[in-house]
Copies of this chain bind each other. A is one copy, B any other.
Amino acid sequence: MAANPLAKRYASLKALASKDLKSDAVSAELASIITLSMDFVRKRAKLVKLISNVPGKTYAMVALKTGVKTSRPINTALFDFKLTDAELAAVAAGTDIEKIPRPRLDQLLYTAAMSFCVATDLIGEGNKKSPGTFFEIYIGHLVALTLKVNPAKKVVVPTTDAAETDNTLPTDFIFDLGPGKSRIHMPVKTSTRERVVQAWAHQRVLEGMLGAGRYKGVLVVLTETNKQKDVSVVEVCLPGQWRAYQMYIAPMFRVYYLDLPKAYEPLRDQYPFIQIWPFSRFFSEYEQLGKAGP
Contacts and interface: CB of A to CB of B under 8 A. Distances in A.
Contacts of A208: 247-249
Contact of A249 (B161, B167, B201, B247): B201
Interface string A127-166: 0000000000000000000000000000001001100000
A49 interface: no
A202 interface: yes
Contact of A244 (B169, B240, B247): B169
Interface string A199-215: 01110110111000000
Contacts of A241: 169-170
Contact of A157 (B157, B209, B240, B249): B240
Each complex incorporates copies of this chain amounting to 2
A197 interface: yes
A271 to B, nearest CB: 6
A167 B72 CA distance: 32
A198 interface: yes
A210 to B, nearest CB: 10
Interface residues of A, number: 27
Interface in A195-234: 195, 197-198, 200-202, 204-205, 207-209
Contacts of A207: 248
Contacts of A160: 271
A245 B157 contact: no
Interface in A69-109: none
Nearest to A249: B204
A56 B47 CA distance: 58
Interface in A18-65: none
Contacts of A247: 208
Contact of A198 (B170, B201, B209, B248): B201
A129 to B, nearest CB: 13
A28 to B, nearest CB: 32
A245 B198 contact: no
Contacts of A240: 157, 167-169
B209 A201 contact: no
Nearest to A163: B270
28 contacts: A157-B240, A160-B271, A161-B271, A167-B240, A168-B240, A169-B241, A169-B244, A170-B241, A194-B198, A195-B195, A197-B197, A197-B198, A197-B202, A200-B201, A201-B201, A201-B204, A201-B245, A201-B249, A204-B204, A204-B248, A204-B249, A205-B245, A205-B248, A205-B249, A208-B247, A208-B249, A209-B244, A249-B249
Q: 8 closest Cβ contacts across the A-B interface? A: A208-B248, A201-B201, A197-B201, A205-B248, A167-B240, A204-B249, A205-B244, A197-B198
